[in-house]
A and B are shown apart, each in its own frame.
Chain A
């Protein structure tokens, strides 16, 4: 079991460019979560899917951010027209045990110049 895999580990974009972040959850896990981590805000919930269906996207900025889960083996977080304030570590987690324990990937560090 390789755990949750996130790619790329680091991404640098110019202001206004698009960034797509990828997440491969643990096989058999039914829920996938996206969080954003910054020093100032800590871990912020963005969105989550259960059995590939979007359940709660209340943490997603309404413009420019979108998430999809086209199949059970991967999810993507897309940020259009990236801004410097989008710079953060984006963490994906999956859950599938009875206690809903989150298993996090190592994260993607996004730097917007």
Chain B
């Protein structure tokens, strides 16, 4: 059973548009969440982490966490073609270093 679910599977947005990605967990022990981004031919790279309820903003990227509903989202404003990649949500439990990943959302930004 997949512990971390992501939606949508794929997403296309125009350049300059807003992209919204979603992630939910089925495990209430998960408390820490990350977003990773993977460009073709590379390994995933960490975008940002969020551990507390509410919003966290880093440049054009904003993550939102609601622990009660185990839902985390990532919003990318002013999307650029270079943002085209596979985006993963990852979760972990307190006291554990192990991470569980979702299957990813493929984002395409159309010039």
Contact = CB atoms under 8 A, between A and B. Distances in A.
B58 interface: no
Contacts of B98: 33, 45, 48, 55-56
Interface of B: 2, 32, 34, 36, 41-46, 49, 88, 90, 92, 96-104
8 contacts: A42-B103, A42-B104, A44-B101, A48-B98, A99-B49, A102-B34, A102-B46, A107-B43
Contacts of B43: 4, 91, 93, 104-107
A101 B103 CA distance: 19
A50 B87 CA distance: 26
Interface in A1-51: 4, 31, 33, 35, 41-45, 48, 50
Contacts of B2: 42
B103 to A, nearest CB: 3
A72 interface: no
Given A41-B103, A45-B99, 13 more contacts: A42-B2, A42-B88, A42-B103, A45-B100, A45-B101, A48-B98, A56-B96, A91-B43, A102-B34, A102-B46, A103-B46, A105-B43, A106-B42
Contacts of A48: 97-98
A82 interface: no
B65 to A, nearest CB: 14
A95 B101 CA distance: 16
A86 to B, nearest CB: 19
B55 to A, nearest CB: 18
